[in-house]
Amino acid sequence: MAFAPAYLETYAAGRLSEKVERAREELQGCRACPRNCGVDRLAGRTAACYTGRWAAVSSFFAHFGEEDCLRGTRGSGTIFFSRCNLRCVFCQNWDISQDKTAGREVRPAQLAAMMVRLQEEGCHNINLVTPEHVAPQIVEALPHAIEQGLRLPLVYNTSGYDGPASLGLMDGLVDIYMPDFKFWAPGSCARYLRARDYPQVARVAIAEMHRQVGLLRFGPTGLAERGVLLRHLVMPGYLDETRAILHWIATELSPATYVNLMDQYRPAFHALRFPELSRWLYPEEVEAAREIARREGLSRLDERGPPPFFARG
């Protein structure tokens, strides 16, 4: 059976229009993310994410730096949203995420046109990067994109700091959830993310994503079609937190969860202000993280090959 993205069924059943109304209500007293600022973003007011009525987009393009099962031979169609709801002191994209004026505001029809343009360029999926605070605006854009012929899987590429209301909106729309799980200890999250509640929020959010779409599944060409792809950036000196996160994944989600243990940490943004984060990873730390995963029974670890990865896309 040919793959059909989840949002087409939701649209055909008439449920997407209901979600659009709920999305606008969510913006009126904003609860789009766990900050729960409560400001009226419909009126253009802003708070923690510096984003008012319209989503701000930094860039959109065919991205070949994602996991092989997303990038394929023609790239993952990434849309980078600006002004993140976290304050990671080591953010490598700080100029996009932390600048209050980053990106340009786009209306729903403009955001939809970006999705369709990426499809026309041959991308394998639509990859929504840092969508936590603009989930309502994404929902508003989807009917326009569907009516213009969008048929690609929708990837929700998130920090894991997602609100339950927004994940409720995404239920029946997202095909692939790609959350981070950054730190386990509240103290670490307060120090490095400026969000002490991150671990509890991330556990609830990722469990809900898993409930919605299940384990990652692939199509005949090896491209991901539906499920959870979970990322964890290995941090220097924090293997104990890696161990706790991987244990939770294996025992509370499934040992068959697809996990990308990322090894590309480098000191960026304000990381040099924190001596413990001011160095690159040691190779033995990366290997130790992979060994922890294997001991926990996590057998589906992402392995990256040189592009092009697929014989056919």
CA distance 51 to 233: 27
pLDDT tens digit string along 36-66?
Answer: 999 999 999 999 999 999 999 999 999 999 9
What is the pLDDT at residue 276? 97
pLDDT at 100: 87
pLDDT for the residue numbered 307: 56
Domains of the chain: 54-295 (3.20.20.70)
CA atoms within 13 A on the CB side of 257: 32
Nearest to 10 by CA among 111, 125, 143: 143
* Contact between 144 and 90 (Cβ < 8 Å): no
Residue 3 buriedness (CB in 10 A; 0-12 / 13-18 / 19+): middle
> What tokens appear for 273 in the block?
């202000």
Q: What percent of the chain has pLDDT over 70?
A: 97
pLDDT band, residue 310 (cuts 50/70/90):
very low
Q: Check if the beta carbon of residue 301 is closer than 8 Å to that of residue 117.
A: no
pLDDT > 50? residue 103: yes
Distance CA 119, CA 137 (A): 20
Please give the average per-residue pLDDT across 130-150, as a whole number: 98
- State mean pLDDT over 122-148: 98
pLDDT (average), residues 126-141: 98
Q: What are phi and psi of 98, to 5 degrees?
A: -110, -15
Structure confidence at residue 2 as a pLDDT band (50, 70, 90) = confident
Q: For 170-212, how does the pLDDT look when each residue is reduced to its tens digit (9 = 90+)?
A: 999 999 999 999 999 999 999 999 999 999 999 999 999 999 9
Length of the chain: 313
For the segment 113-133, the average pLDDT, to the nearest whole number, is: 98
Nearest-angstrom CA–CA distance, 238 and 228: 24
pLDDT at 308: 52
Q: How confident is the model at residue 313 (pLDDT cuts 50, 70, 90)?
A: very low
**What is the C-alpha separation between 103 and 105, in angstroms, rounded?**
7
Q: Render pLDDT for 204-257 as a digit per residue (tens, 0 to 9).
A: 999 999 999 999 999 999 999 999 999 999 999 999 999 999 999 999 999 999
* Bridge partner list, 127: 78, 155
Tens digits of residue pLDDT in 268-290: 999 999 999 999 999 999 999 99
Residue position matching structure tokens 């659009």 = 20
The region, left, alpha or beta by phi > 0 then psi within -120 to 50, assigned to residue 83 is left
Token code pair at residue 196: 């002490």
**Is pLDDT at 113 greater than 60 in this prediction?**
yes
- Least Cα distance to 137 among 175, 105, 163 occurs for 105
Q: Cα dist. 232→179, 208, 286 in Å?
A: 9, 18, 11
